[in-house]
Structure 1
Amino acid sequence: MLQLQKRYGAMLLVLPGLLFLAVLFVWPVGRLVATSFGGWEDPFAQYERILTSTVYVRVLGRTFLLSAQVVALCLLLGYPLAYVLSRVGPLAKVVIVLCVLIPFWTNLLVRSYGWIILLNPQGALNGLLELVGLGPSPVPLVYNSTGVLIGMTQIMLPYCVLPLAAVMSRIDPSLENAARSLGASPVSAFLKVYFPLTLPGVFAGCLLVFMISLGFFVVPAILGGPGDILLAQLIEFNINNTLNWPFAAALSTLLLVATLLIYLIGDRFFDLGRLWGAR
């Protein structure tokens, strides 16, 4: 009897959360997928249109390519920052965390328009490049893919730094010292001992950045140009302008499926469960 009470008591505690997810997540996503198939006459018509049209295939490719570029930049910038964050003292750690999180807490629109001020032809960055004599004047840094890449990288950087720092903080620094005492060079000790131990954080950070970047809308819409339309912008256009909801639902379903597949592949082959101690 006591075991039954514990079992059903736990189920009652979980039930409100399950109902919340079912009503506000599972049901809308199910309706979205159902809408994407349209009628019974030709349920795959919208998907055939996406995959057979050069324009839409280019949008899909551009979205995945830009997301991969954001991942590469976030990893390049975030790995050294997370390494320093895991090694410094408490006061310096607080300062670094604040520097990482304060932009993260700033409104997305404010950050996007702030980048327009910095990157426009008369902006501060072009003025600096002109002062040091690097590149043509002015350098096209906004209303193109470069501006989108810069804006998205700045926004997504915390999603890469925080998982990396969480993994690095659990690595015993004496492991590198032991490798050095056995004759390994600093580079060899880092590549063969330290870096492999940080791979769960690397994969988790890259996965988060990539999945979230696939659905970005605000930054590409503000900082991008007419030839830099991404998948989220195409979905918005079909919902609000052409009112083609089945086609927008098909695009959204493809985005959802791609995100789920990327997560499942990452969890299956890179053992992301180790990041939170699941296994």
Structure 2
Amino acid sequence: MTAAPEVGVRPTPVRRDGARWVASRAATLVLLIPAVVAFCVLFLYPLARMIQVSLTEPTTGFDNYVSLFTDGYTVRVMVRTIWVALLVALIDILMAFPYAYAMTVSGRRMRAVLFTIVLIPFWTSAIAKNFAWLILFQRDGLLDRAFGVSLLGTTPAVVIAMSQVLLPFAVLPLYARLDQIDRRLLDAAQGLGATRAGAFRSIYLPLSVPGIAAAATLTFILSLGFYVTPAMLGSTQQTLIAQLIMIRVQQVLDFAGANAIGILLLVVTLAMLGLSRQLSARRGGGARGGKGLAQTMGGDS
């Protein structure tokens, strides 16, 4: 008798060639070497050097960091810088949100025009933009002639100019998030009796929180390190942290103190990034959007 063939027996899988797999991994590691070297040389080494100088000059210890919180002036400058950065981030969010929303609801051609308008500031020199604001804010300038107000040398001038420069950095992350929101959720909520404002408040706005947090964080972090705009439009009485670092390096020759300020600025930046990540994780998920939808259907109907 002829033996019946076995049914359901799968062929033994061929094992991956070990030598080929090792060669593939080695090639991947070789390709990563330039990036790792660049990261170590351009970031890790300067950062380690800054920490070393701040802890060893002129004496070993934390004297440079203690002085930042005891001299009073550095604390005031840091608080002023954080306040200006928060104000710039708030202004940019308030201006960028409706603009990004308009980009999501407009047609293809109009969206291309809006994109071009956003990208134009990237093609313009920062010095040229600051000089334009300088002409507007100076005494006997256009603003002074029209309203009798000269903002040159004041904090509002710095905030306005920084907000204009950083506005594209708020629009693009917001648009990337708002474009992913399913607008059928709003239509469904309104179909079940919710008002347009209620649907927007309970569904659309919570789903846009990650984009708002990303835009606010990006503009805030970039505002912390601004130097040219405060130097051209501000005053010595309203110094920001980047100007203080430059003064310590060029005039006082306090490299250790300047490095300590830079490390402190890095800590503030990392803390802001962590806060933004937590906010996005807590309020930006789909569960939050579903909860808002349920609240809209039940509370506004």
TM-score of the aligned structures, taking structure 1 as reference length:
0.91
**1:125 equivalenced with 2:143 (yes/no):** yes
2:196 pairs with one of 171, 186, 195:
186
Aligned runs of 1:200-279 on 2, under 5 Å?
A: 200-271=210-281
Per-residue CA distance 1:215-263 (angstroms, 9 max, x = gap): 1101000010121100000000111111110011111111111111211
Per-residue CA distance 1:63-89 (angstroms, 9 max, x = gap): 000000001100110100110011111
Aligned to 1:60: 78
- CA distance in 2 between counterparts of 1:58 and 1:88 reads 45
Aligned to 1:77: 95
| Percent of residue pairs bearing the same amino acid type | 34
Amino acid at match of 1:70: V
Aligned runs of 1:29-178 on 2, under 5 Å?
A: 29-39=47-57, 41-128=59-146, 130=147, 138-178=148-188
For residue 253 of structure 1, give the secondary structure of its aligned residue in structure 2.
Answer: helix
Instruction: Give 1:271 shift.
Output: 2.8
- CA distance in 2 between counterparts of 1:23 and 1:143 reads 39
Instruction: Give 1:41 shift.
Output: 4.5
- CA distance in 1 between counterparts of 2:85 and 2:57 reads 33
Instruction: Give 1:30 shift.
Output: 1.0
Instruction: Identify the range of structure 1 (171-180 vs 212-221) with the bigger mean alpha-carbon deviation.
Output: 171-180
For residue 141 of structure 1, give the secondary structure of its aligned residue in structure 2.
Answer: coil
- CA distance in 2 between counterparts of 1:42 and 1:201 reads 44
Amino acid at match of 2:264: L
Specify whether residues 6 and 244 from structure 1 end up closer, same or farther in structure 2 by C-alpha distance, changes over 3 A only: same
Aligned to 1:134: none
- CA distance in 1 between counterparts of 2:25 and 2:275 reads 33
Task: Judge conservation of contact 2:77–2:241 (CA < 8 Å) in 1.
Answer: yes
Instruction: Give 1:23 shift.
Output: 0.9
For residue 56 of structure 2, give the secondary structure of its aligned residue in structure 1.
Answer: coil
- CA distance in 2 between counterparts of 1:117 and 1:40 reads 44
Amino acid at match of 2:61: P
- CA distance in 2 between counterparts of 1:226 and 1:41 reads 30
For residue 122 of structure 1, give the secondary structure of its aligned residue in structure 2.
Answer: coil
- CA distance in 1 between counterparts of 2:132 and 2:173 reads 27
Specify whether residues 10 and 64 from structure 1 end up closer, same or farther in structure 2 by C-alpha distance, changes over 3 A only: same
- CA distance in 2 between counterparts of 1:140 and 1:187 reads 40
Amino acid at match of 1:159: F
For residue 149 of structure 1, give the secondary structure of its aligned residue in structure 2.
Answer: helix
Q: Quick check: which has more Rg, 1 or 2?
A: 2
For residue 271 of structure 1, give the secondary structure of its aligned residue in structure 2.
Answer: helix
- CA distance in 2 between counterparts of 1:70 and 1:13 reads 40
Instruction: Give 1:48 shift.
Output: 1.1
Amino acid at match of 2:182: D
- CA distance in 2 between counterparts of 1:127 and 1:89 reads 40
- CA distance in 2 between counterparts of 1:39 and 1:75 reads 42
Amino acid at match of 2:91: L
- CA distance in 2 between counterparts of 1:125 and 1:99 reads 24
Pairs aligned (count)? 266
Per-residue CA distance 1:130-171 (angstroms, 9 max, x = gap): 3xxxxxxx2132211011000100011111110000011111
Task: Judge conservation of contact 2:226–2:242 (CA < 8 Å) in 1.
Answer: yes
Gaps of 5+ in 1: 131-137
Per-residue CA distance 1:94-123 (angstroms, 9 max, x = gap): 111121111232111110010011222322
Amino acid at match of 1:44: F
- CA distance in 2 between counterparts of 1:33 and 1:214 reads 20
